[in-house]
Amino acid sequence: MISPVLILFSSFLCHVAIAGRTCPKPDDLPFSIVVPLKTFYEPGEEITYSCKPGYVSRGGMRRFICPLTGMWPINTLKCTPRVCPFAGILENGAVRYTTFEYPNTINFSCNTGFYLNGANSAKCTEEGQWSPGIPVCAPITCPPPSVPMFATLRVYKPSAGNNSFYQDTAVFECLPQHAMFGNDTITCTTHGNWTKLPECRGKYQTMDLVNYPAKPVLYYKDKSHIWLPWMDHFPGWPRRNRSTKLGNWSAMPIFSLSASCKVPVKKATVVYQGERVKIQEKFKNGMLHGDKVSFFCKNKEKKCSYTEDAQCIDGTIEVPKCFKEHSSLAFWKTDASDVKPC
Ligand SMILES: *[C@@H]1O[C@H](CO)[C@@H](O)[C@H](O)[C@H]1NC(C)=O
Ligand SMILES: *[C@@H]1O[C@H](CO)[C@@H](O)[C@H](O)[C@H]1NC(C)=O
Ligand SMILES: *[C@@H]1O[C@H](CO)[C@@H](O)[C@H](O)[C@H]1NC(C)=O
Ligand SMILES: *[C@@H]1O[C@H](CO)[C@@H](O)[C@H](O)[C@H]1NC(C)=O
Ligand SMILES: *[C@@H]1O[C@H](CO)[C@@H](O)[C@H](O)[C@H]1NC(C)=O
Ligand SMILES: *[C@@H]1O[C@H](CO)[C@@H](O)[C@H](O)[C@H]1NC(C)=O
């Protein structure tokens, strides 16, 4: 008795013997493609190996025909990545890369003072070209600075045509009778703009120190005294004592940048804040803006004295016309301040 399984197996063997052996799926070679790609091939069928886009082989593509033996011939095809042009050096900058081969990306950066004119990375394409193109590092420049009100440019020399390079500086000066707030020196920054411009303010302005814009030039001697560098250069600032009581730091002190007055007479007894004082002693370092004193005058008919006010207003104090200053030699004359009040 012949088993049906044996019959099936025998007919399979016969088929192989007549038709020859089939070729298996061809070997995978790196970066290559096979056309057509199937799981098996009849003897006589043709396949073509070629490199994937971005890869090249010395020998170009390879054709093979499935032989009767059912074994593909040895394939020596070698696909290697395309190499893009050398791009390892960027003037005034740096390139970060592993290789210049497809499909790698390289990165660019510029040294301080330069900016990237172009993309910060490029890819090696299938065609072996950099995309986008290689950038350049261009110097950072600042346009001519604008000049604040009441200021002039004391030092300024454009170094890049009409512009300035990164870290160039310019120096401002205030017009006479103006005080500078902020830094007189500006610097061209990496953003292509200048650091903060100073301000020049007229001496009649008041300022509040709490909102004073340029904190670095503010010096605290202690909690109750303050000194600002420009005070030394500002003739209107009280000469009596340049540190000024602030009372309470958290309160907003207002300073008047007005001139002080010289004592307008050689000597006189005056009333200041309700007290009789010798003006030449009390104000020997000058009177502050706003200081008010009362001079004594004589009423000749009634033989009595009265007072008239005088106030220091921004460097000027007008002595009342009725006030008579005695020569120190005229010792016999009675001073108005010693005469009974009217
Ligand atoms: C380029 O920059 C990218 C993004 O920052 C990063 O992922 C990549 O590793 C860099 N390549 C090189 C070669 O440094
Ligand atoms: C500088 O500015 C002047 C006046 O605006 C102009 O005539 C000159 O061409 C500029 N020079 C450069 C190098 O840009
Ligand atoms: C003023 O600016 C210059 C240059 O920008 C800097 O060197 C200096 O420290 C600044 N001065 C102050 C008081 O901030
Ligand atoms: C300069 O430009 C940068 C970036 O745009 C900006 O953040 C900065 O405030 C500018 N500086 C001044 C002083 O305007
Ligand atoms: C200014 O006044 C303070 C206290 O009122 C005093 O300690 C300081 O010595 C004075 N400075 C000058 C230069 O007179
Ligand atoms: C100073 O300011 C603080 C906080 O505002 C307040 O509590 C205190 O009473 C003030 N002192 C004077 C003397 O005004």
Residues in the chain with pLDDT values less than 70: 1-19, 60-61, 177-179, 202-260, 314
CATH code of domain 142-202: 2.10.70.10
- Of 173, 140, 169, 139, the C-alpha closest to 157 is 169
Contacts of 199 (CB under 8 A, 6+ apart): 148, 149, 180, 181, 182, 213
Residue in 92, 64, 89 with CA at minimum distance from that of residue 77: 64
CA 174 to ligand 4 centroid distance, Å:
24
Place of tokens 């172009």: 118
Nearest protein CA to atom 7 of ligand 4, as residue:
191
Q: Which CATH superfamily is domain 21-81 in?
A: Complement Module, domain 1 (2.10.70.10)
The ligand 6 atom nearest the CA atom of 248: 1
Q: Distance (Å, rounded) from C-alpha 100 to C-alpha 268? A: 93
Q: Which CATH number fits domain 93-139: 2.10.70.10, 3.30.1490.20, 3.40.50.360, 3.40.309.10?
A: 2.10.70.10
pLDDT tens profile 111-147: 999 999 999 999 999 999 999 999 999 999 999 999 9
Quick one: which ligand is closest to 215's CA? Answer: 3
- pLDDT recorded at residue 282: 92
Count the alpha carbons within 13 Å of 217 in the hemisphere toward its beta carbon. 16
Which residue's alpha carbon is nearest to atom 3 within ligand 1? 107
User: For residue range 201-212, what is the model confidence (pLDDT) as tens digits?
Assistant: 765 444 444 334
- According to the model, what pLDDT value does residue 181 have? 74
Residue 58's pLDDT is 80
Is there a contact between 118 and 170 (Cβ–Cβ < 8 Å)? no
Q: For ligand 1, atom 10, which residue shows the shortest CA distance? A: 107
CA 136 to ligand 2 center in whole angstroms: 24
What pLDDT is attached to residue 313? 79
CATH 2.10.70.10 residue ranges in the chain? 21-81, 93-139, 142-202, 269-326
Residue among 98, 108, 121, 123 to mutate when testing ligand 1 (max atoms within 8 A of CB): 121
- Mutate which of 95, 96, 101 for ligand 1? The one with the most ligand atoms within 8 Å of its CB, which is 96
Which ligand 2 atom lies nearest to the CA of residue 162? 1
φ, ψ of residue 83 in degrees (nearest 5): -115, 125
Number of Cβ within a 10 Å radius of residue 302: 11
What tokens appear for 107 in the block? 């990165």
Conformational region of residue 119, where left means phi above 0, alpha means psi within -120 to 50, and beta covers everything else: beta
The residues, ordered by sequence, that sit 6+ positions from 100 with a Cβ below 8 Å of its Cβ are 83, 84, 85, 86, 87, 88, 106, 124
CATH number, span 269-326? 2.10.70.10
CB-ligand 5 contact for 224 (6 Å cutoff): no
Question: What is the CA(187)–ligand 2 centre distance, in A?
Answer: 22
Ramachandran area for residue 247 (φ above 0: left; ψ -120 to 50: alpha; else beta): left
Q: Whose CA is nearest to atom 7 of ligand 2?
A: 162
**Closest ligand 4 atom, residue 195 Cα:** 13
What pLDDT is attached to residue 244?
Answer: 41
Q: Which residue is listed with tokens 């038709």?
A: 19
30 alpha carbon, distance to own chain's centre: 51
Atom 3 of ligand 4, nearest CA residue? 191
